[in-house]
Structure 1
Amino acid sequence: MQVGCHCYVLIPRDGSSSDCTDQQQQSHLRHHCWAIKSVTYRNRITKEQSMIYHKWNRPKEEWTGFFHYFAPEKGITVDFVRALQKPLNFSPKALKTWYNKLQDTKAVIDQRYIEERVTALGCELAAAHFIVHRGGKILQKGSNEWIEKDKDEEYCLPRHFTPDFFVECIDASGTQLRYEGLECMGNLEYLKWLNLANCAFIDDWCVDRICGQFANSLEYLNLSNCTSISERGFAALARLKKLKTLDVTGLHNINNVQLLCLLIEDVIPDINIIGINYMELPSSAGEQI
C-alpha cells in the first residue's frame, strides 16, 4: 500500500529571519505564520470504501437530512424531478392505471430472455420450459402426447440438455405471451404448428418477429381473436412461404382484411385461410381488384 503525505509550508508573512530561540520561534510562528489547515494522507482505497467516505465523512457544519444517505451517486434524474412536480392523484381510476402498469412491467420482466437458461438447457428445451411454465403446451417431434401442466402445476420435461429434443408444435392460446417472450422461442428449427388464439398482447411487432423467426418452417398459424393486430402486421404474413393453414377468425378490426387475405393467397397459392368471408368484401375494394 502506497502512502503519500502533503502539507502546507510555513513561511513568515513579514519575511523575517528565523534566528531565535526555540521558544521565540514558536511564538513567532504562532503570531506571524499561516496556520496549518490540514495534513492529509492518501491511501489506495476501493470504490466501496470511497462511497462510504463520501456519504458519512461530511463536514460537521454541513447539514444534511437522513434521506441524503440514500441519494444516488450520479444525482437525481429529470424524470424523478418531473414526477415530484406532478400532483398526487389517489382516485380509483389513477390507482387502477398505476396497478395495471405495474403488472405490465412485471410481466415483461418475467418473459425476458435469460441467456443462462438457454446455455444450460439448449434453445429447444428452454423454449419448452418457457411455454409450459406459463400455461401453454408443446408437442415434441416424433411424439403424439402434448406436454402441459397437470392439476398440481407440475409437468414432465427434462431438466438438463437433451440433444434429441425438438419442439414441433406450440399451443400458447389464451396465455399472456408478449413480444419479449417470443425471443425465448428463437432458433426452433422444427416448429411447424403455432397456436396464438386469444392472446391479447400479440400485435404487429409480434407478427413481424414470428415471420422472421419461423419463415422457413411454420405450416400452421392461428391468430384468431388477436385484436391487437392491424393491417400492417397482417400484411407481413406473406413472408411465411411454407404456411399451409392460417386462422384469422375474429379479426374484423383489420381494415380490408378480405383484400389482404386475397393478396396473401396470391403470394402463397397453397394456403388455406380460415375465418374469412369474401362475400363481405367492400364494394370499393372489389372495384380495385
Structure 2
Amino acid sequence: MWANKSLQGINRRVFGVVRGERVRHSSGNADAYNARNDTKNETQNIAKDISESAGGRETKRSRGPVVTEEQMKNWREHPEAWRSKLSVFTAGSGNRGILELLAASSTKLTRIWRLRHEYSERLAQQMMPTSHNQMGADLAAANFLYHRGAKIKFARHENWMLKSDKTNKTILPMRFENGWVLEKIDCKTMIKGGMRYEGLDNLSKLRSLTWISLKGNKFIDDWGVDKLTSITYKNLEYLNLAECNITYRGLIALWKIEPLKMLVLSSKIESKEVDIVCSMLEETNPKLLIQFE
C-alpha cells in the first residue's frame, strides 16, 4: 500500500511537469528553453526520489523488523515461567564471577578447612594441669587415651580397656584413687589421626609405663620421638614406631632409653643411614632388639 501511494504521487508530479511544458511551449519560443531546463531538473529530482524510495524500501525488507534486547529478554523470561535459584549466577546477572571464584578456590578452601581441623585437634590434645592435679598422672593419661579410642592396660589388671569394647564394664574414676597404675598403651586405634606432638605431654610422669605402641600414628615425627624419649626413658621396655613419619634423625634420640629391649620399625624407612643408627643403638644397649615389619 505504501509503495502504491508513493508511485501515485510521483505520477502526478510527472504529469504536472509534462502539462507545464506544453503550456510553456504555447507561450512562445522565448520561454521554451527555460521550460525545458525546468523540466529536466524536475525529472532528475523525480528519478532521484524514485531511486531513494526503492532503495530505502529494499533496505528495510533486507534488515527485517528491529527487536531490542529488552524485548528478547521479555520473550525468553515469561513472568509465569519457573526459574531456578541458580539463575542468579547467569551471565547477565552480574554474579557469575562469584561462582567462578568459588570454583577456582575450592582447593584452597579444602586446605584451609583441614588446617583448622588439625589446629583444633592439637589444642584438644594439650595437657590439662587441672586434670592431672585432680586425678593424678596415671588416671589423667588413661582418661585422655581411653576417650580417644586408644587401648590401655593397668598394672594388676588382666584385660585391656577399649572404649568401643561393650563387654568391658570397668569405669575409670574421675578422681584420684590408689591402685590405678598405667602400664601399657596402644595408640593404634586412636581416632582423628592418632597422637600429636602436643598430646605426648599427657604421658609425662608415668613412672610405671613399660609398653607403648604408636604404630600408624602419622603425626609422630622426629620431634615427637625426641620428646617421647625425654618423658618415658626410665622404665620403657617396648616401643613400636612402625608406620610413623620418622627418619634416622629421630632414631638417634632413642639412646636415652636405657631399659629399652624391643624396638619395632617400618621396613619403608630402611636405608644406609637407618642401618648405621640401629647398629649404634644396639652397640650402646646390648639388650636392645630392633625388628623391621
1:156 Cα deviation after fit: 2.4
Whether 2:215 is the aligned partner of 1:235: answer: no
1:139 Cα deviation after fit: 0.6
1:116 Cα deviation after fit: 1.2
Taking the TM superposition and a 5 Å limit, the aligned residue runs for 1:219-258 are: 219-226=237-244, 228-252=245-269, 256-258=273-275
Whether 2:121 is the aligned partner of 1:107: answer: yes
Separation in 2, partners of 1:256, 1:149: 40
1:159 Cα deviation after fit: 2.1
Partner of 1:76: none
Taking the TM superposition and a 5 Å limit, the aligned residue runs for 1:137-286 are: 137-150=151-164, 156-175=171-190, 176-226=194-244, 228-252=245-269, 256-275=273-292
Partner of 1:42: none
C-alpha spacing 1:156/1:213, structure 2 compared with 1 (3 Å): same
Report if aligned partners of 1:174, 1:197 keep a CA contact under 8 Å in 2. no
Separation in 2, partners of 1:158, 1:250: 40
Separation in 1, partners of 2:236, 2:132: 22
Q: Secondary structure at the match of 1:184?
A: helix
Q: Secondary structure at the match of 1:146?
A: coil
Separation in 2, partners of 1:247, 1:142: 26
Q: Secondary structure at the match of 2:269?
A: coil
Separation in 1, partners of 2:170, 2:126: 22
C-alpha spacing 1:156/1:120, structure 2 compared with 1 (3 Å): same
Separation in 1, partners of 2:111, 2:165: 33
Give ranges in structure 2 of 5+ residues lacking alignment. 1-100
Separation in 1, partners of 2:170, 2:112: 34
Separation in 1, partners of 2:189, 2:271: 20
Per-residue Cα deviation, 1:9-43 (whole angstroms, up to 9, x for no partner): xxxxxxxxxxxxxxxxxxxxxxxxxxxxxxxxxxx
Report if aligned partners of 1:168, 1:193 keep a CA contact under 8 Å in 2. yes
Whether 2:106 is the aligned partner of 1:92: answer: yes
1:265 Cα deviation after fit: 0.3
Separation in 2, partners of 1:174, 1:146: 13
Partner of 1:128: 142
Partner of 2:133: 119
Report if aligned partners of 1:230, 1:255 keep a CA contact under 8 Å in 2. no
1:164 Cα deviation after fit: 2.2
Report if aligned partners of 2:247, 2:269 keep a CA contact under 8 Å in 1. no
Taking the TM superposition and a 5 Å limit, the aligned residue runs for 1:7-156 are: 91-150=105-164, 156=171
1:273 Cα deviation after fit: 0.7
C-alpha spacing 1:245/1:160, structure 2 compared with 1 (3 Å): same
C-alpha spacing 1:131/1:167, structure 2 compared with 1 (3 Å): same
1:250 Cα deviation after fit: 3.3
Report if aligned partners of 1:174, 1:196 keep a CA contact under 8 Å in 2. no
Query: Going by fraction, where is helix more abundant, 1 or 2?
Result: 2
TM-score normalized with structure 2 length: 0.60
Report if aligned partners of 1:230, 1:254 keep a CA contact under 8 Å in 2. no
Moved over 2 A (4+): 87-90, 150-156
Separation in 2, partners of 1:120, 1:173: 27
C-alpha spacing 1:266/1:113, structure 2 compared with 1 (3 Å): same
Q: Secondary structure at the match of 1:101?
A: helix
Give ranges in structure 1 of 5+ residues lacking alignment. 1-86, 277-289
Count of residue correspondences: 189
Separation in 2, partners of 1:192, 1:236: 18
1:88 Cα deviation after fit: 9.3
Separation in 2, partners of 1:134, 1:182: 14
Task: Let me know the Cα RMSD of the aligned residues.
Answer: 2.2
- AA of the residue aligned to 2:211: W
